[in-house]
Structure 1
Amino acid sequence: MRLPFATSDARSRHRLTALIAGLLAIVVLAGIGVYGLLSGPRTTSDTGDDSGNTGPGSTVTSPGAQRTPPRLPTVPASNDPETFARNVAEALFAWDTASGFMPLDYTSVILTVGDPSGDEQAGLASDVAAYLPSRPTWLELRQYATTQRLRIDQAFVPQAWDTAVEQAQPGQLAPGTTAYTIEGTRHREGVWNDEPAASEHSVAFTVFIVCAPTYDTCHLLRLSQLDNPLR
């Protein structure tokens, strides 16, 4: 099975370095900033930031509402890049603090569809962690039965990625490697002072994936920083 970033053993050992170098050159030329694929996720706090960690005052849900048995979200497999990118995005933002699961359980859902070679696993795990509340924040939000979901407004291949592909050296990107920027609205619900509460927040981020012909079905490589997508 071919690995997603190289066509030779040498390139295989350095494929992530080559991809980062190629993208960095495009970022500099285009002036579009540094993204999660290049520099990793932002440092987050426990008191409210773009990673999704907000205090209880902006949370919500209906008291007395009948809850279905808790279960983790899934990322349905797909060989269509846009469909898969949307599936990843929806699963990434789908969590329920009252389910009995913890952030690491939700992280495992995303890692399940990661690059089978394992080369991106550590970086991807770090990316996902930046999108989830920290453990202390999670325990705080659990008191308010906080849940979250994402409504996707649009998904598109950013122009910056097209430029990166044009500038990439032969063999630097595996066939089927692409990026989709997701724009949507993060919805939260919970209970605050025994009253239902809700909040909405616009979000944008980029999903980096590899599909056919490298793999029969799409797999997730990395995530950009939240609200710092490729454009």
Structure 2
Amino acid sequence: MKLLPAPRSRRTIVTLVATAVVALLIAGIGAYGFLIGSREPSEPTGTVSSTVEPTTEPSHVRETPVLRIPAIPRNIDAEAFSRSVATALFTWDTGSGFLPLEYTAVILDVADPTSAEQPGLAADIATYLPTQHAWLQLRQYATNQYLEITSAYVPDAWADALAQARPDQLPEDATAFTIEGIRHRSGNWNGDQVSAEQEVAFTIFIACPPDGSCYVLRLSQLNNPLR
């Protein structure tokens, strides 16, 4: 695992990576055409009567609740943290109003606090998520996805990786968890609900210091985990 010395801001890293990664093959659901969606609020309708006296009193408008992608808890044990990261990595909904960069940001929020590994981690995440162009296509079919985790374990190969690592190459309390599960994807196709399942496996490299605040280092290639 190569640690990159030059930290960058999370937003800059995610933006650069998102424009450079080739679109993933979207399994299970066909997608044609191009849809550009607007996330701007709609213009208010109706008119105000000219007989209403102006007032300086603040209007009491019911605020619409702000939707947020659930944050990943950090103060949990290493396995629970790895499972939470895996769940966040695979859980998305094109009808939620969020974009791939926003799902990426949730994982980068629990990335290496020194920022040394953030560029590499952002590149890793981008290979798991649809590109923005693919996202716009999938949104036509209300496509969503989640991960059913079937196992999470420290792979035997991790001991060899630790033995071969150079001094100070890995942070203290670094470990790895291989996640195995089933990726579920569903959407609407010609008015019918369709779904597809695929077995997946990957490894999450993390560190959990004694203070209990775990963070993510890197991800393996999808379906190329440590065993």
Give the alignment's TM-score, normalised by structure 1. 0.71
Distance 2:180 2:22 in 1: 21
Task: Identify which of 190, 213, 218 aligns with 1:222.
Answer: 218
Q: Percent identity?
A: 54
Distance 1:74 1:135, change over 3 A: same
Q: 2:188 is matched with which residue: 187, 191, 214?
A: 191
Partners of 2:67 and 2:147 lie apart in 1 by: 18
The aligned residue for residue 99 of structure 1 is 96
Letter in 1 for 2:103: Y
Distance in 1 (CA, whole Å) between partners of 2:201 and 2:164 is 25
Alignment partners' CA distance in 2, 1:216 and 1:229: 25
What corresponds to 1:66 in structure 2? Answer: none
- Is the alpha carbon distance of 1:149 and 1:70 closer, same or farther for their aligned partners in structure 2, counting shifts above 3 Å? farther
Structure 2 counterparts to residues 1-231 of structure 1, below 5 A: 16=3, 44-46=22-24, 48=25, 53-54=26-27, 56-57=29-30, 70-213=67-210, 216-231=212-227
Q: Which structure features the higher share of helix residues? A: 1
**Aligned mates of 2:67, 2:145 — CA distance in 1:** 14
Q: Distance in 1 between matches of 2:68 and 2:144?
A: 13
Residue correspondences, number: 180
Cα shift at 1:57: 3.1
Structure scoring higher RCO (CA < 8 A, sep ≥ 6) equals 1
For residue 125 of structure 2, give the secondary structure of its aligned residue in structure 1: helix
Q: Secondary structure at the match of 1:98?
A: coil
Contact 1:183/1:204 (8 A) holds in 2: yes
Alignment check: 8 A CA contact 2:208 2:215 kept: yes
Gaps of 5+ in 1: 6-14, 18-42, 59-68
1:23 alignment partner in structure 2: none
Shift of 1:170: 4.2
- TM-superposition CA deviations, 1:176-204 (whole Å, max 9, x none): 10011100000011111101111101111
Aligned AA for 2:160?
Answer: T
Amino acid at match of 1:16: L
Structure 1 residues 70, 200: CA separation in 2 closer, same or farther (over 3 Å shift)?
farther
Question: What is the root-mean-square deviation of aligned Cα atoms in Å?
Answer: 2.6
The residue type paired with residue 207 of structure 2 is V
SS of alignment partner, residue 99 of structure 1: coil
Cα displacement (A) at 1:70: 5.0
Post-superposition shift, 1:74? 2.3
Aligned-pair CA distance for 1:142 = 0.2
